[in-house]
Structure 1
Amino acid sequence: MTTDLHARQADLLWILLFTIASTLTTLIFACATPFPALAALAAVHLDRRDGVLLMVAAWAVSQAVGFCVLGYPWDAATALTGVAIGTAAVAGAIVSSLVDNRVPARSTVARLAIAYVAAFAVFKLAILLWAPVIGHADVALSLPILQRQFVRYAAILAGFYALYRLLTAAGVPAPAAAPQPVTA
């Protein structure tokens, strides 16, 4: 029982740490919360339920930062766009977790890369499905913007993973679903 409690505490700590890290990127890039990067991290290091929880937490904080700090307009169209982004983030987390569970990659970096590509594709597909309702699909899904976002979020993923490795090396307990080092 104590082990389960400690594992749950470690999982919740990482949800908090990843949410804080994504909030900082939201502030730095002014509204570009890296949901696909977070979804990849969640797929590899958290169970699916906690991955969804991470997406919801990061989305809620992102919305709060957007409306309260970055000056998003308080109107229905902006709120609906937020809902679209939230559902896209959750969809990305779910699909990247499913992909991670089915792809036989052994290395954590390969797993992160595969989960990231899946999360990015699903996130953007979900936004495309919302486009008739929220508009602006031509801007959000133009090739130059997609390329820029793909590279930016991949770089953020690399930074988040480096932070994860640094913190676990410093003694922060890894999430329960994190791959355990193989000992000989």
Structure 2
Amino acid sequence: PFALLTLGTASNVIYAHTPLVAFAAMGGVALNRRRAITLALLIWLVNQATGFGFRGYPLSPTAFTWGALMGIGTLLVAAFASIQPRGSQSSWAGHCLWMGIAVLGGFVLYQGLILLAYPLIADGHFMAWDIVAKLFMKEAVWAGAIALGHGIGLWRQLSQLRCLQS
């Protein structure tokens, strides 16, 4: 969890739009539900503190509403991804399949919440689908990088166990 939290914190410095879905989904896949939700909450809190403290987000009801929606969406993604169906823990293929489902399903859940609220908060305007597609690509790239790091970490642990058993 510490590596994900560190990477999530660093992503807040690099990007104004932190890949919250990627961190919440991968946290849910890799950690138990409580840790995944705690991780997602901490990364979201760092995102909000960075935005309001350093990036100059306006202290307005609209900005606070967006922040709250992002927080709710992030927590929902972490809870969804932490379902971890039985097959997702018994094989690499099942684990990889669940990672993909968690990211895609998490994005639909998170972005669906944003898209439902967007017309109400953005004076009746709608978010264009090309923007949604770009957001998904960013989340997918981050999730892939996190998954690769997670896979390397698991492989190293398994290698160490095999060495100890030999």
State TM-score, norm by structure 2: 0.79
Instruction: Tell me whether 1:22 sits opposite 2:4 in the alignment.
Output: no
Distance 2:11 2:51 in 1: 12
Alignment RMSD, CA only? 2.7
Bigger relative contact order, structure 1 or 2 (CA pairs below 8 A, ≥6 apart): 1
Q: Give the Å deviation of 1:138.
A: 4.3
Q: Give the Å deviation of 1:29.
A: 2.1
Partner letter of residue 142 of structure 1?
A
Report the counterpart of residue 136 of structure 2 in structure 1. Answer: 150
Q: Of 99, 108, 114, which aligns to 1:112? A: 99
Instruction: Give the length in aligned residue pairs.
Output: 156
Q: Give the Å deviation of 1:137.
A: 7.7
Distance 1:167 1:61 in 2: 25
Contact 1:91/1:126, CA 8 A, preserved across alignment: no
Partner letter of residue 22 of structure 2?
A
Q: Cα deviations across residues 18-77 of structure 1 (Å, max 9, x unaligned)?
A: 1221222222222x1112111221221111222211111111000011111211112221
Q: Of 74, 77, 85, which aligns to 1:101? A: 85
Instruction: Tell me the SS of whatever aligns to 1:74.
Output: coil
Q: Of 52, 74, 82, which aligns to 2:37? A: 52
Contact 1:36/1:92, CA 8 A, preserved across alignment: yes
Percent identical among aligned pairs is 24
Q: Compared with structure 1, are the counterparts of its residues 164 and 64 closer, same or farther at alpha carbon in structure 2 (3 Å cutoff)? A: same
Instruction: Tell me the SS of whatever aligns to 2:85.
Output: helix
Contact 2:26/2:81, CA 8 A, preserved across alignment: no
Question: Unaligned 5+ residue runs, structure 1?
Answer: 1-13, 172-179
Q: Cα deviations across residues 97-124 of structure 1 (Å, max 9, x unaligned)?
A: 33x326x454232221111011100001
State TM-score, norm by structure 1: 0.72
Q: Give the Å deviation of 1:167.
A: 5.0
Question: Unaligned 5+ residue runs, structure 2?
Answer: none
Q: How does 1:1-184 map to 2 (within 5 A)?
A: 14=1, 16-30=2-16, 32-98=17-83, 100-101=84-85, 104-105=87-88, 106=91, 107=93, 108-131=95-118, 133-135=120-122, 138=125, 141-167=127-153
